[in-house]
Amino acid sequence: MGRENFADRRFFIHTFGCQMNVHDSEQLANIMTEAGYEQTQDVRQAKIILVNTCSIRSKVAQKIVSQLGRYRRWKDKDPEVIIGVGGCLAQHWGRDMFTKTPYVDLVFGTHAFHEVPQLVDMVRAGHGPVMDTELREEIPSLGICTAGKNGNGKTKHHSLVTIMQGCDNFCTYCVVPYLRGRERSRPSAEIIREIEALVKQGIREITLLGQNVNSYGRGLPEETNFPKLLAMINDISELERIRFTTSHPKDLTGGLVNCFGRLKKLCEHIHLPFQAGSDRVLTRMNRGYTRKDYLERITALRQCCPDIAISADVMVGFPGETAYDFDATLALMEEVCFDNLFSFMYSEREGTVAVSFGEKVPEKERNRRLKILQELQDRHTWERNQALVGKDVDVLVDGASKNDPQELTGRTRTNKIVNFAGPPILRGKTVTLNITGAYLHSLRGELKSPAAINVHKSPEVILGRKSPEVILVQK
């Protein structure tokens, strides 16, 4: 069969990287489906393999290249298979992608997702290899609503919603501003419309996404900001929970802190990357806050919302980080006692300012510091989770647990995973559980007696605007 009348329109998407990438892949799947392609979860059935990449650390880039090598074997068996590489690494490497991985037919950058069906058509028409890595002012794919189904066909209860894209912060180690372009916020009316549509489709919880969500609104013609947006979303009835990620400490205003005390749907969790505990390192990173600023914000958050769970990103081995600086990071961790921490070894990224910094920390030492830091964090996570044993928590039930299909799993408002025994009918409902066990990565809970707890506690119920929906539980 020639490429002109290539009939099989099944595509497979492989996603590397962060939640932002997961969401971009969901949007890409929608764009492809609307253009008449059909998504498959089985790569062996796909004629179009799209790899959505990440370039934040060099190890991820190595993993992606190995994976592309495996897909190449697929193409060797069936030359009609098209391999497309998109997202951050594609943006970063551009044309070099075709020399580093010559079997790739299509390269699409972070702003070209909406063009992928046309680009695939061009490859199929024999115009390949094809590339689009232009960084645009406006990205049409921002407005696409991605509600609906999980890969397994079941309706989801949680959805990601992009509220802004790009980043203007230029931390000296980070490639994002170069690869995702300048910061742009979506108009609030468009975001509200998207969330209302999602709620109609059964979504109960949303996570607002952006590289720096709390600077939302900058550059928009309307008079708005992140707290105002949160308040508008909080008024959408039937929506139960609001989360957001990622926030930057320098833009965490008092107004945003207060949202945790006054907006009932806003979950008691914040992800607030601190990156380093030493002012000297923070300055070299161009983070725009001091250790004291960060700790003051944590205190304000805890004063406003004592049960708030706090997670963060941190890096070890940034150029010039001394043993003393590293101790300051550990001391900050001791002071905050994070619920969860995503810790990374500094990875030099071409094109960033930090490449020119001297005093590189040897890899062995970076590894050693990472191990010490992770051991400390494990202790803190364990302590924070143990403190919940015996407490009652509200859990939005995701469905059957991955490890034991007889069990259910869900998340607390503080974003902790809880496994418990219960009937499948509870999927998508909020139940109250008593925490009976705590581990490093999850909690164990027990449904409370039906009379006391089998109530759908939406924020409207809590606020007395609506009567509770009673869920019948077969014990």
- Contact set with ligand 5AD (CB under 6 A): 56-57, 173-174, 273, 275, 313, 315, 344, 346-347, 349
Q: Which of ligand 5AD, ligand SF4, none binds 370 (CB below 5-8 Å, type-dependent)?
A: none
3-state per-residue secondary structure call for the chain: CCCCCCCCCEEEEEECCCHHHHHHHHHHHHHHHHCCCEECCCHHHCCEEEEEECCCCHHHHHHHHHHHHHHHHHHHHCCCCEEEEEEHHHHHHCCHHHHHCCCCCEEECCCCHHHHHHHHHHHHHHHCCEEECCCCCCCHHHHCCCCCECCCCCECCEEEEECEECCCCCCCCCCHHHHHCCCEECCHHHHHHHHHHHHHCCCCEEEEECCCHHHCCCCCCCCCCHHHHHHHHHCCCCCCEEEEECCCHHHCCHHHHHHHHHCCCECCEEECCCECCCHHHHHHHCCCCCHHHHHHHHHHHHHHCCCCEEEEEEEECCCCCCHHHHHHHHHHHHHHCCCEEEEEECCCCCCCHHHHCCCCCCHHHHHHHHHHHHHHHHHHHHHHHHCCCCCEEEEEEEEECCCCCCEEEEEECCCCEEEEECCHHHCCCEEEEEEEEECCCCEEEEECCHHHHCEECCHHHHCCCCCCEECCCCC
Q: Which of ligand 5AD, ligand SF4, none binds 177 (CB below 5-8 Å, type-dependent)?
A: ligand SF4
Beta carbon of residue 349, minimum distance to ligand 5AD (angstroms, whole number): 5
In the window 159-198, what residues touch ligand SF4 (CB under 6 A)? Answer: 167, 169-171, 174, 176-177
Q: Which of ligand 5AD, ligand SF4, none binds 315 (CB below 5-8 Å, type-dependent)?
A: ligand 5AD
Using CB under 6 A as the binding rule, whether residue 212 contacts ligand SF4 is answered as yes
State which residue, 227 or 317, has the beta carbon closest to ligand 5AD: 317
End-to-end CA, the chain: 58
**Tokens found for residue 256:** 């945003």
Contact 230, 266 (CB under 8 A): yes
Beta carbon of residue 272, minimum distance to ligand SF4 (angstroms, whole number): 12
Q: Which of ligand SF4, ligand 5AD, none binds 340 (CB below 5-8 Å, type-dependent)?
A: none
The bridge status of strand 48-53 relative to strand 10-15 is: parallel
State which residue, 296 or 313, has the beta carbon closest to ligand 5AD: 313
Q: Which residues contact 82 (CB under 8 A, 6 or more apart)?
A: 47, 48, 49, 105, 106, 120, 123, 124, 128
State which residue, 170 or 382, has the beta carbon closest to ligand SF4: 170
Beta carbon of residue 377, minimum distance to ligand 5AD (angstroms, whole number): 14
The bridge status of strand 443-447 relative to strand 430-438 is: antiparallel
Q: Provide the β-strand partners of residue 131.
A: 107
Beta carbon of residue 286, minimum distance to ligand 5AD (angstroms, whole number): 12
State which residue, 131 or 282, has the beta carbon closest to ligand SF4: 282
Beta carbon of residue 166, minimum distance to ligand SF4 (angstroms, whole number): 9
Q: Which of ligand SF4, ligand 5AD, none binds 211 (CB below 5-8 Å, type-dependent)?
A: ligand SF4
The bridge status of strand 392-400 relative to strand 407-412 is: antiparallel
Please give the residue whose beta carbon sits closest to ligand 5AD in the complex. 313
Beta carbon of residue 414, minimum distance to ligand SF4 (angstroms, whole number): 23
State which residue, 56 or 393, has the beta carbon closest to ligand 5AD: 56
Burial of 4 (0-12, 13-18, 19+ CB in 10 A): exposed
Per-residue x/- marks for ligand SF4, 441-470, CB under 6 A? Answer: ------------------------------
State which residue, 55 or 414, has the beta carbon closest to ligand SF4: 55
Binder among 27, 211, 377, 430 for ligand SF4 (CB under 6 A): 211
Q: Which of ligand SF4, ligand 5AD, none binds 56 (CB below 5-8 Å, type-dependent)?
A: ligand 5AD
Per-residue x/- marks for ligand SF4, 220-259, CB under 6 A? Answer: ----------------------------x-----------
Q: Which of ligand 5AD, ligand SF4, none binds 347 (CB below 5-8 Å, type-dependent)?
A: ligand 5AD
State which residue, 285 or 397, has the beta carbon closest to ligand SF4: 285
CA–CA separation, 410 vs 395, rounded Å?
Answer: 6
Beta carbon of residue 251, minimum distance to ligand SF4 (angstroms, whole number): 9
Beta carbon of residue 171, minimum distance to ligand 5AD (angstroms, whole number): 7
State which residue, 167 or 301, has the beta carbon closest to ligand SF4: 167
State which residue, 59 or 193, has the beta carbon closest to ligand SF4: 59
Site for ligand SF4 (CB under 6 A): how many residues?
10
State which residue, 98 or 346, has the beta carbon closest to ligand 5AD: 346
Q: Which of ligand SF4, ligand 5AD, none binds 346 (CB below 5-8 Å, type-dependent)?
A: ligand 5AD
Beta carbon of residue 170, minimum distance to ligand 5AD (angstroms, whole number): 12
Using CB under 6 A as the binding rule, whether residue 272 contacts ligand SF4 is answered as no
Binding interface with ligand SF4 (CB under 6 A): 167, 169-171, 174, 176-177, 211-212, 248
